[in-house]
Amino acid sequence: MSDIKRNIEAVRSNLKEDVLLVAVTKTHSPDEINEAIDCGVTDIGENKVQEILDKYDKVKPVRWHMIGHLQTNKVKYIIDKVVLIHSVDSLKLAKEINKRAAAAGKIMDILIQVNAAHEESKWGIDPALTGDLIGEILENCPNVRIKGLMSVAPYSDDPDEIRPYFAEVRKLYDKYGAMENEMVDFEYLSMGMTHDYITAMEEGSNLVRVGTAIFGARVY
């Protein structure tokens, strides 16, 4: 059995039912990605627009997720390629997505990225501003549908250090997911990477973004 196949089976064996595995393919080749798809991976995540464009035609049919910071001037390149943008953290970005989605005649699904630990080095909005941003998007962006929340926890090997951040985002997810609006249609709580996806899942994540545990260490 190949490493990728064995790794995917190992990750899957740790996942609860109904948790979506998004295989994070950044820096990895179309061949590696296609191998993962052959092993049943249905969803892949990239954090750079350029990598999506470079690989798009070389990869078998699969659902592409944009999981990294997205500059407004690059939205147009991926609007017809990805099924979900995980990293919306400003009205400016949401408006650009709205504009491009409208031009393409579609509704774009997004997640709001929350910076639960208030880390300066990380993208995402202050958790306290989540409700405001959702309200502004509803008012200004009729072609954007908010499907949930995404968060990246601080790096730590100690689950008890990061658990509270996941729990805080989970609370926001429950709160805003209860809104009665057809454009706030929560389905995904995107939390957890290779080193912390088990903890994230224990705190309610239903979408994990796993790269290293599937493809091995990245070489940049």
Using CB under 6 A as the criterion, which residues of the chain lie in contact with ligand PLP when the complex forms? 24, 26, 47, 67-68, 152, 193-194, 209-213
By beta carbon distance, the residue nearest ligand PLP is 211
Rounded Cα distance between 64 and 8, Å, is 18
Q: What is the DSSP string of 23-75?
A: EE-TT--HHHHHHHHHTT--EEEES-HHHHHHHGGGS-S-EEEE-S---GGGH
- Min dist. Cβ of residue 16 to ligand PLP (A): 18
List, as own/partner pairs, every contact residues 125-129 make where C-beta atoms lie below 8 angstroms and the sequence separation is at least 24, other chains included: 125/89, 125/90, 127/168, 127/169, 127/172
Query: Residue for token digits 């997640």?
Result: 111
- Min dist. Cβ of residue 69 to ligand PLP (A): 9
- Min dist. Cβ of residue 219 to ligand PLP (A): 12
Residue 24 or 36 with smaller CB distance to ligand PLP? 24
Residue 14 or 194 with smaller CB distance to ligand PLP? 194
Residue 98 or 205 with smaller CB distance to ligand PLP? 205
Residue 143 or 153 with smaller CB distance to ligand PLP? 153
- Min dist. Cβ of residue 86 to ligand PLP (A): 7
CB 42 within 8 A of CB 64: no
